[in-house]
Amino acid sequence: MSNKRTFNMLAVTLGMTLSVLPAISHAADKQLTVWAWDPNFNISIMEKAKEIYAKDHPDVKIKVEDFAKPDLEQKMHTVLASGMTDSLPDIVLIEDYNAQKFLTSYPDAFSPMDGVVDYKEFSPYKTQLMTVNGHTYGMPFDSGVTGLYYRRDIIAAAGIKPEELNNITWDRFIELGKQVKAKTGKAMLSDDPSDPNMVRILMQSAGTWYFKPDGSLNIKDNAALKEALRLQKAMVDAGITTPSVGWSGRVSAANKGDVATVTNGVWFIPSIKAAADQAGKWGVAPTPRLNIAGGSNYSNSGGSSWYVLSASPNSKQAIDFLNSTFSKDVGFYQRILTENGAVGTFLKARTGAAYQTPDSFFGGQKIYSDFATWLAKVPEVSYGQYTYEADAVIAALLPSLYQGTPIDDVVTQIDQQLASQIQP
């Protein structure tokens, strides 16, 4: 009995080992693997690009694999650091804030595409963030141009006209928020002290970042950062925020109708549309601005791009695939705009008809035409390599800011902590 069981176990183990073997050996020569996150957005868009490419290249098999974003990043770091290039994909999606980090931490791991891709066809900020030592890596993809999404019905109940939200300052936004709170009892926006997304949006709208273009810290004399922190506290003090935790908290605050507005990137549209019962109730206005020199009503949050691994035996094919879809095909951009709400950074795409389509979910507003207009005006900043370190430091200090620590003290602490975090 016991012997038989041992034999069975051995047989099963052997069988499993054998069945894994074919998966390890390379099946087809022209197989491209793509790693990305978000099935409704990046994955779905990549599948569409694959369909287009398959028409002219039936011999190339493309496999798109879906991961959670943190998992994908962890996998990339582990594999790149170990040097086991066999387990790397051919193409990977990297968030713009992370681009410089990956490109400088793993030199030679990614294939430069200058000489193949015509980077003049893309928004300049996008190519700048993927350039290291004069080489440009990566295929610019989506934009995170921001807007002020608002609930038409809630602001109407508070006696505010949609036009009153156009090109306002954040101080005016707070005043309107108080009005909304008083008349409807709803919060104006959700606040997550562990996510400094808002601080980043406010900072970039005035054309500055945590770092100067040369990579040095830009904290102490950063008027936009100070103003952003002041406003962040002012919003909480005015009682117009509702607490939310994490990404799901922010989405559910919007979907449950707890908030009158959301300020976020254009890629937030699918999340808003997830609440089908709110169709027709939303609108988008330009992002409010900082009342300081250089303040603008345009900003950016997130966005990502495709990169080809140089260890890939098919890297040329991979570059050709990206180049013939993402940097040539205007029709493709029209399709992903209408079907996925993706605003690309490919300049020619904006001339297409899809950008002029009114969106009934947003009360018939031509939202993509608006976003495309704002995108052209977003101030350019250099994200550097340490945006996540800076985010962690700001998130650690926001609660003490809320509890009344003076802004200048908070800024000094940010400066000191960040300086100690980013030493090589």
Partner 1 sequence: MHKNNRNGFDRFYDVNGWAFVSLALGLIVLFMLYPIASSLWLSLHSGKGLVVKFVGFGNIIRLFHDPVFHTALWNTFIFLIIQVPIMIFLALITATCLNSPDLKWRGFFRTAIFLPCVTSLVAYSILFKSMFAYDGIVNSFFHMVGIIDQPIPWLSDPFWSRVAIIAAITWRWTGYNMIFYLAAMQNIDKSIYEAAKLEGVTPRQCFFNITIPLLKPVILFTSVVSTIGTLQLFDEPMNITAGGPANSTLTLSMYIYNLSFKFVPNFGYAATVSYVIVIFAALLALVQFKFAKERS
The answer to whether 397 contacts partner 1 (rule: CB under 8 A) is yes
Q: Residue by residue, what is the 3-state secondary structure of the chain?
A: CHHHHHHHHHHHHHHHHHHHHHHHCCCCCCEEEEEECCHHHHHHHHHHHHHHHHHHCCCCEEEEEECCHHHHHHHHHHHHHHCCHHHCCCEEEEEHHHHHHHHHHCCCCECECECCECHHHECHHHHHHCEECCEEECEECECCEEEEEEEHHHHHHCCCCHHHHCCCEHHHHHHHHHHHHHHHCCECEEECCCCCHHHHHHHHHCCCCCECCCCCECCCCCHHHHHHHHHHHHHHHCCCEEECCHHHHHHHHHHCCCECEEEEEHHHHHHHHCCHHHCCCEEEECCCECCCCCCCCCCECCCEEEEEECCCCCHHHHHHHHHHHHCCCHHHHHHHHHHHCCCECEHHHHHCHHHHCCEHHHCCECHHHHHHHHHCCCCCCCCCCCHHHHHHHHHHHHHHHHCCCCHHHHHHHHHHHHHHHCCC
CB of 375 to partner 1, least distance (A): 28
Task: Output the CA–CA distances (angstroms, integers) from residue 394 to 70, 125, 210, 390, in the order listed.
Answer: 20, 24, 10, 6
Candidate ranges 155-163, 213-221, 228-236, 388-396; the one touching partner 1 (CB under 8 A): 388-396
Q: Which span (231-239, 245-253, 291-299, 341-349) binds partner 1, by CB under 8 A?
A: 245-253
Q: How far is the CB of 8 from partner 1 (least distance, A)?
A: 23
Contact between 80 and partner 1 by CB under 8 A: the answer reads yes
Q: Quick one: which segment of 188-196, 230-238, 336-344, 345-353 binds partner 1 (CB under 8 A)?
A: 188-196
Here the tokens at position 103 are 């490109």
**Segment lying near partner 1 (by CB under 8 A), choices 43-51, 166-174, 240-248, 346-354:** 240-248
Which residues between 89 and 118 bind partner 1 (CB under 8 A)?
Answer: 101-102, 104-107, 109
Residue 388 Cβ vs partner 1, minimum distance, rounded to whole Å: 5
Segment interacting with partner 1, rule: CB under 8 A, options 4-12, 198-206, 324-332, 380-388: 380-388
Q: Give yes or no for a contact between 314 and 30, defined as CB atoms under 8 angstroms apart.
A: yes
Minimum CB separation of residue 135 from partner 1 in Å reads 16
Residues 6+ apart with CB under 8 A from 420: none
Residue 423 engages partner 1 in binding (rule: CB under 8 A): yes
For partner 1, which residue of 194, 323, 357, 373 counts as binding (CB under 8 A)? 194
Of 106 and 361, the one with the shorter C-beta distance to partner 1 is 106
Burial code (b: 16+ CB inside 10 Å, e: under 16) for 134-148 equals eebbbbbbbbbbbbb
Residue at token pair 């970039």: 204
Residue 13 as a binder of partner 1 (CB under 8 A): the answer is no
Q: Which of 386, 410, 411, 414 binds partner 1 (CB under 8 A)?
A: 386
The reply to whether 398 sits near partner 1 by the rule CB under 8 A is yes
Stretch that binds partner 1, among 199-207, 261-269, 327-335, 393-401 (CB under 8 A): 393-401
Tell me which of 140, 144, 177, 193 binds partner 1, using CB under 8 A. 193
- Taking CB under 8 A as the binding criterion, the range among 69-77, 110-118, 278-286, 287-295 that sits at the site for partner 1 is 69-77
* Span near partner 1 by CB under 8 A; candidates 119-127, 158-166, 241-249, 296-304: 241-249
Q: Under the criterion CB under 8 A, does residue 395 sit at the interface with partner 1?
A: yes
Residue 170 interacts with partner 1 (CB under 8 A): yes or no? no
From 6, 8, 74, 167, residue interacting with partner 1 (rule: CB under 8 A): 74
C-beta of 169 vs 405, nearer to partner 1: 405
Instruction: Tell me, residue by residue from 340 to 379, as one string, x for binding to partner 1 by CB under 8 A and - for no binding.
Output: ----------------------------------------
**Total number of residues that touch partner 1 (CB under 8 A):** 39
Per CB under 8 A, residues contacting partner 1 are 70, 73-74, 77, 80-81, 101-102, 104-107, 109, 192-194, 243-246, 249, 385-386, 388-389, 392, 395-400, 416-417, 420-424
